[in-house]
Copies of this chain bind each other. A is one copy, B any other.
Amino acid sequence: MKQGRLILLSAPSGTGKGTVVAQLMRMRTDLDLSISWTTRAPRPGDVEGETYFFKSEDTFQALIDQGGFIEFAGVYGKHYGTPRAYVRQQLARGRHVLLEIDTQGALQVMRNEPEVVSVFLLPPSMQELHRRLSGRGTESPEKVAQRFAFAYEELKQAEKYRYCIINDDVASAARKVSAIIDAADCEAPLLRGHIQQLQEETVL
């Protein structure tokens, strides 16, 4: 069984990451979204094991102590993290795993899982990003300004990713992520078993 690949996807808020991911998940049946652990309480619409795995602070802390997260963070006193065992198990089954995550978490993953295939989604322009953030109409101008300022911070990390994609068209951006997964699936070390088999094969 060939190992799956861990794919990391980050993007400044408003870049359209969610739409690209939804499109990508429709395109590929061999890809799973990673589900995080969190210590925050479930909200209406949350489904255990779909939106998050809901855990007590003690359980979460115990896994931190065991070094069991490939990344974790505290936000407003609550913990969020990606357990290594879950990811490893999916990859061993030959499934690809997509991790949607902010740049801070992504840098942790790159350190802990150097084989990760990291992708940063870029807005076509900051003007367009601002338009999309404002256009949501669900947030205060202050909140929009804050998200927008933070986008510049996140952009500073873009070149630490292996791949960057400009999201000027959702379908095209999703196809590019998909091509990146297909390419990652052909990296030579993954084929080592087949190569050795060929070398040892004697034909009469």
- Mark A residues whose CB is within 8 Å of B: 119-120, 122-123, 125-127, 130, 148, 152, 155-156, 158-166, 175-176, 178-180, 182-184, 186-192, 194-195, 197-199, 201-203
**Number of copies of this kind of chain in the complex:** 2
Q: Are B163 and A203 neighbours in the complex by a CB distance under 8 Å?
A: no
Q: A175 — nearest CB in chain B belongs to which residue?
A: B182
A187 to chain B, nearest CB (A): 6
Q: Is there an interface contact between A125 and B198, defined as CB atoms closer than 8 Å?
A: yes
Q: Are the C-beta atoms of A188 and B125 separated by less than 8 Å? A: no
Contact A198 B123 (CB under 8 A): yes
CB–CB A191/B164 < 8 A: yes
Contact B198 A130 (CB under 8 A): no
Whether A198 touches B122, Cβ cut-off 8 Å, given contacts A127-B203, A182-B183, is yes
Q: Enumerate chain B residues within 8 angstroms of A190, measured Cβ to Cβ.
A: 164
Whether the pair A164, B188 counts as a contact (CB closer than 8 A) is: yes
CB neighbours of A152 from chain B (8 A): 199
Assembly CA distance A32 to B111 (angstroms): 38
- Neighbouring B residues of A202 by C-beta, 8 Å: 126
Question: Which residues of chain B are within 8 angstroms of A182 by Cβ–Cβ distance?
Answer: 175-176, 179-180, 183
The reply to whether B130 and A194 form a contact with Cβ atoms under 8 Å apart is no
Known contacts A201-B125, A201-B127, A203-B127, A188 near B120 by CB under 8 Å: yes
On whether the beta carbons of B125 and A195 are closer than 8 Å, the reply is no
Contact A122 to B164, CB < 8 A, known contacts A155-B199, A179-B183, A203-B127: no
Q: How far is the CB of A199 from chain B (nearest CB, A)?
A: 6
Residues of B close to A156: CB separation below 8 A:
199
